[in-house]
């Protein structure tokens, strides 16, 4: 009997292994192709404003920073130590992370019951989504966020599907790592708890494994939590300052939803909406309803708090996977298999059409011409971004060399005997980070600034009697210094968000020492 049972089961098991091997090999091929795509195009423009911030923070390793947790600066530090400072090296981690997201999303589709087509379709939807293309093209805290959210979702699915509560330990681990990468994952955790309370899965709240996962996540996050407590919650102060300044664009409900569709690619909206509905009501996916509810809760939280539209982007891979599983089943059941390649081809063509919007495959002038043929305008996240022809994620890759060059002109006018006590003060982390990173080849000293984490690094021992100041107005400087010399402005770059930045040399402080002035320079917004 045992021999007969093995004989009957063996072909099915072999077919299953063959399916998994073939499907996953194809998925890995797609992921590797995506990685090399990013590697090829990731050095077309210049360094992005936020990348200077991560580089500088990586040079000052700590358990926290005003605008972010420590994981991305730490990975930047390691990446630079191994690969160097080229654009491709700086953007190596994003290229790897967004390529692995293809594999993660396909694995979620597999665990939800999808076969080869569902897995491949899921991979394609990740490949063509503008937000994930952007994540792979720039070093930002967005680049790893979907990976960590989906790691949590994957282990939630395993815990439910296999009835193995121990997987909740891994949910906690990845949630803790996520909190060290970007705080917004806390809202996903809150949404998951809400989903558990509203479904039959609430019984897991009585299991030791979920509490062990919560303890693991808390311990992983604890160093950053203690850092925030020590510095009086800098990130919350920053968020309050941004809100008080009214810097962000607040969208009405309809526009907010439309922007969500644009971020993930409008043609994929039927897939992820189907996935959401299936997770909420489809009998086949009923046991995973906690994930569908988590989306609704996250959406309500981010919209209610006037969060930027891309804050919700990390949650969509699981919806795309669920939608692909349902679509695969529907096409197979109705003998519409011929539609499968058609859907894939249409999505790939649509993705290729919008890719230049977020990946620098064109020259700046070529991109401006291309924008005329786009069916939609790139989203504007902040009011200040309206003043440049390029979208902000491109505009903030230009103008930095010009700012550093004009600062160098001022530095070269400082007598050698005065340079040890002559600092360079920048108005924001973009200017300050550019001076720190790009200014090294001109022997410029590390910058000073009151903006965000630079304020915590203090005045670096400078007296204030000699200071090169960027981007301030002359009447204000004359109230602070005895002599103010205008050196010039950074050369105009038509593509840059920051351009025509004035540079002054100031001598003889009227305010006492820099240490005394420093508390007034704090700018967390």
**pLDDT tens per residue across span 257-312:** 999 999 999 999 999 999 999 999 999 899 999 999 999 999 999 999 988 899 99
**What does each C-alpha distance from 109 to 117, 125, 496 come to in angstroms?**
10, 12, 41
Q: In this predicted structure, what is the pLDDT of residue 385?
A: 58
Nearest alpha carbon to residue 150 among 199, 198, 109: 109
How far is Cα 64 from Cα 71, in angstroms, rounded to an integer?
9
The pLDDT value recorded for residue 7 is: 40
Long-range contacts formed by 297-303: CB under 8 A, 24+ apart = 297/190, 297/191, 297/194, 297/195, 298/187, 298/188, 298/191, 301/187, 301/190, 301/191, 302/187, 303/253, 303/256
| pLDDT of 386 | 61
Q: Which residues pair with 486 in a beta bridge?
A: 504
pLDDT in tens, 436-452: 999 999 999 999 999 99
Q: Give per-residue burial for 212-242: e unless 16+ CB within 10 Å, then b.
A: bbbebbeebbeebeebbeebeebbeebbeee
Pairing status of strand 481-489 against strand 502-509: antiparallel
Match 């953007």 to its residue by tokens: 91
The yes-or-no verdict on residue 1 having pLDDT over 50 is no
> Average of pLDDT values for 133-148?
96
pLDDT of residue 2: 42
- Residue 40: the pLDDT is 96
Tens of pLDDT, residue by residue over 204-222, are 999 999 999 999 999 999 9
Predicted confidence (pLDDT) at residue 19 exceeds the cutoff of 70: no
The token pair at 409 is 């002109």
DSSP, collapsed to helix, strand or coil, labels residue 408 as helix
pLDDT classification of 246: cutoffs 50, 70, 90? confident
User: Residue 17 has what pLDDT?
Assistant: 59
Residue 251 binned pLDDT confidence (cut-offs 50, 70, 90): confident
Q: What confidence score (pLDDT) does residue 104 get?
A: 98
% of the chain exceeding 90 in pLDDT: 83
According to the model, what pLDDT value does residue 245 have?
79
Distance CA(42)–CA(46), nearest Å, equals 9
N- to C-terminal Cα distance for the chain?
73
Q: Which pLDDT score is estimated for 380?
A: 63
For the question of whether the overall pTM of this predicted structure is more than 0.75, the answer is yes
Helix (H) and strand (E) counts for the chain?
A: 24, 5
Q: What is the mean pLDDT of residues 396-402?
A: 96
Residue 499 pLDDT:
87
Q: Give the Å distances, CA to CA, from 146 to 42, 184, 188, 503, 507.
A: 20, 11, 11, 40, 49
Quick one: pLDDT band at residue 18, thresholds 50, 70, 90?
low
Q: Give 3's pLDDT tier (boundaries 50, 70, 90).
A: very low
* pLDDT-based confidence at residue 160 (cuts at 50, 70, 90): very high
Predicted confidence band of residue 4 (pLDDT cuts 50, 70, 90):
very low
Residue 66 pLDDT exceeds 50: yes
436 vs 497, which has greater pLDDT? 436
Q: Residue 4 corresponds to which tokens in the numbers above?
A: 């007969």
Q: Is 293 within 8 Å of 315 (Cβ atoms)?
A: no
Q: Is 444 helix (H, G, I), strand (E, B) or coil?
A: coil
Looking at residue 5, its pLDDT comes to 39
3-state SS, residue 123: helix
What integer pLDDT is reported at residue 337 of this predicted model?
Answer: 76
């Amino acid at each position: 009997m045992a021999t007969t049972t093995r004989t009957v089961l063996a072909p099915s098991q072999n077919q299953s292994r063959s399916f998994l091997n073939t499907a996953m090999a194809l998925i890995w091929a797609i992921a590797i192709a995506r990685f090399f795509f990013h590697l090829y195009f990731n050095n077309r423009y210049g360094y992005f404003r936020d990348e200077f911030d991560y580089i500088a923070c990586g040079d000052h390793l700590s358990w926290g920073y005003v605008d972010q947790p420590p994981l991305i600066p730490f990975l930047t530090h390691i990446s630079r130590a191994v690969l160097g400072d080229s654009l491709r090296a700086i953007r190596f981690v994003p290229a790897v992370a967004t390529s692995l997201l293809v594999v993660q999303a396909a694995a979620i589709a597999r665990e939800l019951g999808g076969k080869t087509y569902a897995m491949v379709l899921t991979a394609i939807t990740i490949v063509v989504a503008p937000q994930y293309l952007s994540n792979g093209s720039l070093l930002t805290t967005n680049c790893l966020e979907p990976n960590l959210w989906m790691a949590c979702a994957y282990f939630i699915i395993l815990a439910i599907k296999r009835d193995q509560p121990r997987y909740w330990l891994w949910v906690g681990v990845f949630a803790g790592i996520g909190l060290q990468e970007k705080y917004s994952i806390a809202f996903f955790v809150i949404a998951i708890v809400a989903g558990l309370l509203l479904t039959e899965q609430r019984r897991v709240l009585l299991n030791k494994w979920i509490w062990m996962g919560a303890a693991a996540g808390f311990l992983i996050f604890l160093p950053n939590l203690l850092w925030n407590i020590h510095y009086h919650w800098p990130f919350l102060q920053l968020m309050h300052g941004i809100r008080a300044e009214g810097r962000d664009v607040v969208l009405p409900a309809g526009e907010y939803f439309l922007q969500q569709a644009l971020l993930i690619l409008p043609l994929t909206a039927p897939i992820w909406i189907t996935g959401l509905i299936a997770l909420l009501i489809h009998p086949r996916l009923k046991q995973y309803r906690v994930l569908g509810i988590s989306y609704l809760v996250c959406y309500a939280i981010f919209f209610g708090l006037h969060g930027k539209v891309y804050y919700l982007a990390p949650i969509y891979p699981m919806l795309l996977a669920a939608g692909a599983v349902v679509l695969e089943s529907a096409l197979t059941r109705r003998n519409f298999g011929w539609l499968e390649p058609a859907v894939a081809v249409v999505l790939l063509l649509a993705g290729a059409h919008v890719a230049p919007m977020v990946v620098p495959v064109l020259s700046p002038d070529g991109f401006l011409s291309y924008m005329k043929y786009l069916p939609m305008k790139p989203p504007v996240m902040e009011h200040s971004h309206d003043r440049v022809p390029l979208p902000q994620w491109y505009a903030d890759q230009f103008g930095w060399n010009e700012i550093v060059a004009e600062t160098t002109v001022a530095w070269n006018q400082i007598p050698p005997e005065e340079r040890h006590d002559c600092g360079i003060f920048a108005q924001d982390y973009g200017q300050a980070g550019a001076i720190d990173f790009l200014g090294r080849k001109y022997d410029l000293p590390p910058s000073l600034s009151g903006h965000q984490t630079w304020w915590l690094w203090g005045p670096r021992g400078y007296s204030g009697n000699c200071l090169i100041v960027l981007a301030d107005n002359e009447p204000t400087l004359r109230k602070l210094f005895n002599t103010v010399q205008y050196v010039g402005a950074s050369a105009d770059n038509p593509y840059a968000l920051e351009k025509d930045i004035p540079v002054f040399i100031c001598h003889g402080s009227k305010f006492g020492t820099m240490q005394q002035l420093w508390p007034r320079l704090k700018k967390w917004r």
